[in-house]
Amino acid sequence: MSAGSFALTRAAQVLTLHDPEGPRTAARRGAAMAELGILRDASVVVDAAGEIEWIGPHTELTALMDRGELSVERVHDCAGEVIMPALVDPHTHLVWAGDRRDELELRLGGADYEAIFAAGGGILSSVRQTRAASDEQLYAQSLRRIERMRACGATTFEIKSGYGLELEAELRQLRVARRLRDEAGVRVKTTCLAAHAFPETARRGPQARRRFVDEICEQILPAVASEGLADYADVFCDRGAFTKDEAARVLDTAHALGMGLRVHANEFGHTGGAELAAEFRAASADHLLHMNADERSALAEAGVVATLLPGTSLVLGKPFADGRALIDAGVAVAIASDCNPGSCALENLAMILGLACYGCKLAPAEAVVAATHNAAASLGLAAEVGRLEVGMSADLLVLATDDYRDLVYHAGSPLVREVYSRGHRIS
């Protein structure tokens, strides 16, 4: 499976996401969110270093090869198929141990997600299972998830901690995420989400609560920064989680330590999360089920990417984020799996792209941009992945269909036939 140089030829559609104004790494907004730069009967050449060497109409490639101006070791015919950038998943919690299948049944029987959490289950159940697992168990369980997720088309992942909620366990989760980056054949950005929930010990009154925020700011984040374990910090600012003031302290500290910022915001209500993301010019504000016009304009003005997680709405039976209103307000939208043990253990980002259309009212082309270029931009990776341009990494998919809209039309069907990461076939 060595990269070698190879050509994927004669695809019915190649979604380049080429921007007519030149390669730009900012997340796209407005009408630009629907520009896929589609080439028909086109080919892509990947060099031995795993980068895109050439891309264009197949007739031009044949002419270049006939004149001996370009040669490849292998030619792989993709007639009647689609070539597109591999998916980028900018919001996962995929390093955890154990499962919450029992909780799933309780919820399907009518129990409420927030009530289970308030009673010490939910996230805290995963904290107990994750703390109890060995490093090897944690790694092996997470690797299996990543293998399934990449088979569904994602080759870049953001991975959050947040099932440790104490120094050592948070560090352990992030080290496992780093090991996945080094060994799983995918790109990984890591995020410290120590501010995910208040652990059992912090639920004994306001002082205990304050001490946990102190612990995050004075011990956990500095230790994570000094070991270089996280690219970002995140905070769950919502009803039943961190208040706006507590979240602001966490973001301030993380910013001072040189980390990028992301915020879980407005999933259950309006507690200031989206405003905070705008105030801190966070890279991303995520969930956003409950949004008003002022909050949308604040995100647009601050250039914060809105990351929508429609799988979570589906699983929890909640409303879908209004992606249409966000795009119309000029906000750059990304979509992600939110893959986690409780609110959404779905692993198929290609299917979630369909949910973004049916639930959040994105157009299929917008959903593609949201799950590729915009997701990459929110992770600072837009110069490497998320588009097909000469010089970018050959992270791409071959779809077993001649029209990319089938990803939505037949959402959930096994259309992702081949997955390449850095020019290596990984699925």
Footprint of Fe ion (CB under 5 A): 338
Residues in the chain: 427
Residue 123 in contact with ligand NIG, rule: CB under 6 A = yes
Least distance CB 333 / ligand NIG (angstroms): 17
Question: Could you tell which of Fe ion, ligand NIG, none binds residue 312, using a CB distance below 5 to 8 A set by kind?
Answer: ligand NIG
Residue 342 in contact with ligand NIG, rule: CB under 6 A = yes
Q: Looking at beta carbons only, is 76 or 318 nearer to ligand NIG?
A: 318
Residue 185 in contact with ligand NIG, rule: CB under 6 A = no
Least distance CB 264 / Fe ion (angstroms): 5
32 phi/psi in degrees, rounded to 5: -65, -20
Q: Looking at beta carbons only, is 123 or 176 nearer to Fe ion?
A: 123
Cα separation, 84 vs 80, in Å, equals 13
Residue 206, exposed/middle/buried by CB under 10 A (0-12, 13-18, 19+)? exposed
Going by their DSSP bridges, the two strands 154-160 and 187-195 should be labelled as parallel
Least distance CB 290 / ligand NIG (angstroms): 13
Q: CB of 47 within 8 A of CB of 6?
A: no
Give the residue, chosen from 43, 191, 343, 348, that forms a contact with ligand NIG under the rule CB under 6 A. Answer: 343
Cα separation, 374 vs 405, in Å, equals 18
Give the range of 120-128, 147-155, 167-175, 249-257 binding ligand NIG by CB under 6 A.
120-128
Q: Looking at beta carbons only, is 173 or 427 nearer to Fe ion?
A: 173
Residue number of the CB atom closest to Fe ion: 338
Residue 313 in contact with ligand NIG, rule: CB under 6 A = no
Going by their DSSP bridges, the two strands 82-85 and 396-399 should be labelled as antiparallel
Least distance CB 189 / ligand NIG (angstroms): 16
Which phi-psi region, left, alpha or beta, contains residue 363 (left: φ > 0; alpha: ψ -120 to 50)?
beta
Give the residue, chosen from 267, 275, 384, 389, that forms a contact with ligand NIG under the rule CB under 6 A. Answer: 267
3-state secondary structure of 51: strand
Give the range of 6-14, 46-54, 82-90, 122-130 binding ligand NIG by CB under 6 A.
122-130
Sign of CA dihedral 328, 333, 335, 336: negative
Q: Looking at beta carbons only, is 312 or 401 nearer to ligand NIG?
A: 312
Q: CB of 342 within 8 A of CB of 103?
A: yes
Q: CB of 146 within 8 A of CB of 349?
A: no
Q: Looking at beta carbons only, is 44 or 339 nearer to Fe ion?
A: 339
Question: Could you tell which of Fe ion, ligand NIG, none binds residue 267, using a CB distance below 5 to 8 A set by kind?
Answer: ligand NIG
- How many residues of this chain bind ligand NIG (CB under 6 A)? 13
Q: Which residues of 334-369 are buried (b: 16+ CB within 10 A; e: fewer)?
A: bbbbbbbbbbbbbbbbbbbbbbbbebbbbbbbbbbb
What is the contact mask toward ligand NIG in residues 13 to 52, using x (rule: CB under 6 A)?
----------------------------------------
Provide the H-helix boundaries in 184-243.
Answer: 206-215, 221-226
Give the range of 20-28, 119-127, 141-149, 207-215 binding ligand NIG by CB under 6 A.
119-127
Cα separation, 231 vs 216, in Å, equals 16
What is the contact mask toward ligand NIG in residues 213 to 242, using x (rule: CB under 6 A)?
-----------------------x------
What residue ranges bind ligand NIG (CB under 6 A)?
A: 93, 122-123, 126, 236, 264, 267, 312, 338, 340-343
